């Protein structure tokens, strides 16, 4: 298989559309392998939720042993982190498998999994760090928007203007005021979308270095993603967007199944009962998980292609002289 060498035989990086096509091709040609890994990974995140349901049920029925909670809650949190780690390591294993194909070093699912599972807590750390990053960016964004809003308010005459009713009058009478208000809100929304797309693109391959490169830790792995995606953020946003578009058919299919089941349920269970709410929630949750099992390998494969392509562009990974094994996996 030759990714780096394109059909005409010359070497060149991939276009956004071709990254998605290549990822999709890897996905469809290794579907059973990736799907198996994704299935096991997804079952792991189901475990803490099932356990939580059991515990809640237990305490609701027994109404005693409250003292145990002090022990159970921390234990459950540790379990949750561990299971998330299992999930993340499994997802990373799929990317590792896909990357192995790209550099002509295919691995077995068992080997890839063994490698990533050995770095389980690293993936948990990446997840937590990314959570922190997003929270910080969101807070920063809110702060900036608030400052701008207050500045505008002061410029317009402060609260007095609002309280005097002149603002409401202006809003009602002058279409220009209403229009600029709408535009302002739209601008904030567009800015938020652009900002978060950009950030997601910069950390799009955050877990891949940890899953693939040797001697690397969680924060360094995120740093690598940041470094590799430099100057390529908007191309990656485009890639992620096309991928999202391609997953739409499946998501719509899941939506249809979900509403069909709901229609069946309304006939069998009275729609205003608590049971109905519970069952519908459970069904949409399970369908969500099931479509997740199908989509996870696609995203992971496409991330592997993004990572490969970035390393080719930024580090010339594909520029190897003849008969020389590639340097690193």
Residues that bind another protein (CB under 8 A): 1-3, 6-8, 10-11, 15-26, 28-29, 101, 227-228, 230-231, 238, 242, 245-246, 248-249, 252, 311, 313-316, 319-322, 324, 327
Backbone angles phi, psi at 204, to 5 degrees: -60, -35
Residue with tokens 């578009």, as numbered in its chain: 245
Shortest distance in whole angstroms from residue 173 CB to another protein: 23
Shortest distance in whole angstroms from residue 316 CB to another protein: 4
Nearer to another protein by Cβ, of 8 and 214: the residue is: 8
Nearer to another protein by Cβ, of 88 and 205: the residue is: 205
Shortest distance in whole angstroms from residue 3 CB to another protein: 5
Shortest distance in whole angstroms from residue 225 CB to another protein: 13
Closest CA to 109 of 93, 91, 123: 93
Cα–Cα distance between 225 and 235 in angstroms, integer?
A: 14
Closest CA to 96 of 248, 222, 209: 209
Shortest distance in whole angstroms from residue 15 CB to another protein: 6
Could you tell me if 211 and 96 are in contact, meaning their C-beta atoms sit under 8 angstroms apart?
Answer: yes
- Which helix (H) or strand (E) is 35 found in, with range? helix 31-62
Could you tell me if 96 and 116 are in contact, meaning their C-beta atoms sit under 8 angstroms apart?
Answer: yes
Nearer to another protein by Cβ, of 124 and 298: the residue is: 298
Nearer to another protein by Cβ, of 21 and 262: the residue is: 21
Backbone angles phi, psi at 5, to 5 degrees: -90, 120
Nearer to another protein by Cβ, of 83 and 295: the residue is: 295
Nearer to another protein by Cβ, of 37 and 228: the residue is: 228
Shortest distance in whole angstroms from residue 284 CB to another protein: 21
Backbone angles phi, psi at 30, to 5 degrees: -120, 30
């Amino acid at each position: 298989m030759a990714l780096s060498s394109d059909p005409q035989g010359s070497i060149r990086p991939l276009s956004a559309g071709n990254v998605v096509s290549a990822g999709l091709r890897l996905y469809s040609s290794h579907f059973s392998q990736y799907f198996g890994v994704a299935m096991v990974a997804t079952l792991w995140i189901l475990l803490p939720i099932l356990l939580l349901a059991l515990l809640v049920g237990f305490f609701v029925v027994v109404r005693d042993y409250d003292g145990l909670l002090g022990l159970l809650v921390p234990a459950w949190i540790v379990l949750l982190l561990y299971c998330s780690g299992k999930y993340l390591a499994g997802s990373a294993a799929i990317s590792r498998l896909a990357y192995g194909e790209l550099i002509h070093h295919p691995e077995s699912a068992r080997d890839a999994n063994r490698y990533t599972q050995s770095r389980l807590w690293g993936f948990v750390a990446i997840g937590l760090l990314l959570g922190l990053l997003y929270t910080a960016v969101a807070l920063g964004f809110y702060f900036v928007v608030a400052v701008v809003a207050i500045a505008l308010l002061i410029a317009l005459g402060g609260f007095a203007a609002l309280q005097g009713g002149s603002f409401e009058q202006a809003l009602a009478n002058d279409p220009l005021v209403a229009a600029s208000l709408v535009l302002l809100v739209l601008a904030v929304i567009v800015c938020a979308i652009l900002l978060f797309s950009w950030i997601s693109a910069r950390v799009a391959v955050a877990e891949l270095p940890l899953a693939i490169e040797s001697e690397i830790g969680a924060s360094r792995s995120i740093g690598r993603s940041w470094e590799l995606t430099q100057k390529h953020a908007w191309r990656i946003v485009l890639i992620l967007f096309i991928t999202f578009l391609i997953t739409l058919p499946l998501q719509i299919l899941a939506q249809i199944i979900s509403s069909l089941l709901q229609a069946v349920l309304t006939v069998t269970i009275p729609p205003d009962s608590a049971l109905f709410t519970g069952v519908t929630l459970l069904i949409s949750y399970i369908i969500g998980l099931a479509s997740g099992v199908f989509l996870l390998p696609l995203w992971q494969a496409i991330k592997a292609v993004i990572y490969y392509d970035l390393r080719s562009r930024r580090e010339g990974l594909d520029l190897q002289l003849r008969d020389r094994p590639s340097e690193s996996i």
